[in-house]
Structure 1
Amino acid sequence: MGVLSLLGGMFALLNPYAASVFVLQLVAFLFILLGVMQVAFTLRSPFGLSWFDLGLGVLQILLGVMLATNVLGGLVSLTLILAFLFMLEGVILVLAGTNLRPFRPWLWLVVGGTISILLSVFVLMNLPEAAATLLGLLLGIDLLSNGLWLVAAGLMLRDL
């Protein structure tokens, strides 16, 4: 599993646009799947038809189809969501760090939060260009780091 993760991470870093499109298509597929399940469960519900749940399912299907058919718009949308999450995480970490000043690791929270905020600003300033590759780069970094951890853990467990 670790080797597969490493290979996937290398592919994503070598071709971040293809990896970004893969992430987008995966998200689109999941929205469509969840929407179909939502509609099916709503129509078969023993508690009666809920128009809200039915509408939510249809909305999920439409969102998935829109993401799947409009690659650039979908990549920009997901990148905007990611930038917002980076900003939110950064603000939370900075606030937590300043509230934990009496404790030793408070500075690392502030530093990590500041980096997240700066990353968010960088992404927002580089839209829509950043949208084409950012998701793929983040996927590649994540797969590589997880792959390294899994390989190291496997080697350590083999020696036991």
Structure 2
Amino acid sequence: MADTSSSMRDIRQRIVDNWGWFLALGICLLIGGMILIAAPLASSIAITLLMAAVLLVGGLVQIYQALTSKSGGRHLWSLITGIIAVIGAIVIYTNPLAGTFALTLVIAAVFIAQGISQLLLGFQLKPHQGWLWVVTAGAVSLLAGVMIWMELPDSAAWALGLVAGISVMFNGWSYIAIALAARAVKG
């Protein structure tokens, strides 16, 4: 337990000592998030191409692993999965808009499923403090997913970039908040 406490103090001290860098990082992320939101189609396509690169590299590694391992029948599934990932990456690279549409469809489905799950959890937690926050988060996720789904195929042009931009902006705000709090501690 003492190691954890000491480790936390070290982290806090590093943040206090380097609050300016945390502030700069937060501002950069905030500006980056705004850029992602301002150019949602370009952001969505960039995210899709990055995902394709991850699929390609991951698929190739998985194929290599399957061909060089001696793990019985398991290598066949790994080989098939790797081949599917590589094919998916090639398809996305040849038609990034179709890939963006597919990823937007997945995002909408995840938001809907997450929203329903959070709503059910929130109502199960109802007598406990904070249950309404869980229900609210679930309702927002469900609403976002339904809105994206109902706007398909048009939402493919903006949904991924908007979601990424909002996420990056919130990360930026969190670093700014940490930096300002650390600055106040430093005095």
TM-score by length of 1: 0.91
Residue 9 (structure 1) aligned with residue 3 (structure 2)? no
CA RMSD, 1 decimal: 1.6
User: Structure 2 counterpart of 1:120, which letter?
Assistant: G
Q: Map Cα deviations across residues 94-137 of structure 1 (whole Å, 9 max, x no partner).
A: 11111112112222222221221121111111000011111101
Greater mean alpha carbon deviation, residues 115-124 or residues 14-23? 115-124
Q: Map Cα deviations across residues 11-37 of structure 1 (whole Å, 9 max, x no partner).
A: 111111111111101111000010011
Matched residues, number:
160
Q: Map Cα deviations across residues 13-68 of structure 1 (whole Å, 9 max, x no partner).
A: 11111111111011110000100110111122243672221111111101111122
Greater mean alpha carbon deviation, residues 86-95 or residues 38-47? 38-47
Distance in 1 between the 2:89 and 2:28 partners? 28
Where do 1:100-115 residues align within 5 Å? 100-115=125-140
Kindly tell me: are residues 110 and 152 of structure 1, through their superposed partners in 2, closer, same or farther at Cα, counting changes over 3 Å? closer
Which of 77, 94, 99 is the matching residue for 1:52?
77
- Consecutive unaligned residues of structure 2, counting only runs of 5 or more, are 1-24
Which of 106, 110, 126 is the matching residue for 1:85?
110
Aligned-pair identity in percent equals 34
Match of 1:64 in 2: 89
TM-score by length of 2: 0.79
Larger radius of gyration: 2
- Consecutive unaligned residues of structure 1, counting only runs of 5 or more, are none
Residue 28 (structure 1) aligned with residue 52 (structure 2)? yes
